[in-house]
Amino acid sequence: MIRFDRPVTEIIRQRRSWRSYRDDPISEEITSRLLEVISRLEPPPFGSKMRFSLLEAGVPEKKRVKGTYGVIQGAGSFLAGALVPGDMAFEDFGYTMESLILFITSLGLGTCWVGGTLNRSYFGEKMALKDGEIIPAITPVGHVADRRFLIDALFFLSAGSKNRKPMHELFYEGDFSTPLPAESAAQYADALEMVRLAPSAVNKQPWRIVKKDGMFHFYLRRSRGYKALFTDVDMQRIDLGIAMFHFHSCACEAGLEGGWKIIDPGLSSLPKRTHYCVSWVPQT
């Protein structure tokens, strides 16, 4: 796992989605540090095949960046990831890319998950995609502008990221009928709060967690009609992977060792559009 120079909970709270950037490039020192971290990435929880590259995609003297449909403005550098789809591959991708995004945040730079407003052919050419690879998402990497440009401000307001669901709508004990009490969350309270603060496409927060038999079982609750917006890329499974990284990194930082396994608790009744995905199993 990536080593951060300060508490990951602090970095998670600091991170914001930025689509407006200054045109001055990132320094060679920061570029070198990021490339070194990319080169030393550990395999994701389920070993999916993926790779990441730092690309130059901006056009000098043009604010709107080609390949982002005008949503990203001013940025010249982008982190892009290529993935070979498979079982748990999108979850692995979200887990790994979020770790890089938080590392970039720790360097004082801005980022923004870009998956819907992305020209995959354009970035695919820049990344020289191999057979079987797709680009699920990218992020700009750069110095944020002094103020948000108009389109960025509109996205920021419409996403409603400040209006996240409360804990009792996301985390449960035993089954989906009982919200997880604070005393049952215990030493995992911070990790769960960092899951609640995790970014997700259109701020849908599709993850749900049920604590049962000492384990934390992660479910995906599909937003109605959302998957139809995409074909090859499952953004809500990527969202789940982001939540997994927040939970894992914060638990480990608190000295709570464990790992990911597929152990479906077989709950008899699930909410509509909800299915089991993966479990965090504490080390005993």
The predicted pLDDT at position 74 comes to 87
Q: Quick one: pLDDT at residue 68?
A: 84
Higher pLDDT, 61 or 67: 67
Map out the domains of the chain as residue ranges: 8-156, 167-282
DSSP H or E segment with residue 260: strand 258-261
**What's the order of all strands across the beta sheet hosting 171-173?**
171-173, 207-212, 215-221, 274-282, 258-261
Cα-based distances in Å from 253 to 64, 145, 245: 39, 32, 12
pLDDT band at 45 (very low <50, low <70, confident <90, very high): very high
Nearest to 187 by CA among 164, 214, 205, 220: 214
Enter the CATH code of domain 167-282: 3.40.109.30
Query: Would you say domain 8-156 falls under CATH 3.40.109.10?
Result: yes
Q: Has residue 227 got a pLDDT over 60?
A: no
pTM of the full predicted structure?
0.94
Using CA atoms, how far apart are residues 253 and 248, in angstroms rounded to an integer?
Answer: 8
Can 8-156 and 167-282 be said to share one CATH topology? yes
- The Cα–Cα gap between 187 and 256 comes to 8
pLDDT digits (tens, 9 = 90+) for 165-221: 999 999 999 999 999 998 999 999 999 999 999 999 889 999 999 999 999 999 999
For 205-231, b/e burial (b = at least 16 CB within 10 A) is: bbbbbbbbeebbbbbbbbbeebeeeee
* pLDDT tens digits, one per residue of 103-162: 999 999 999 999 988 889 999 999 999 999 999 999 999 999 988 887 777 777 766 556
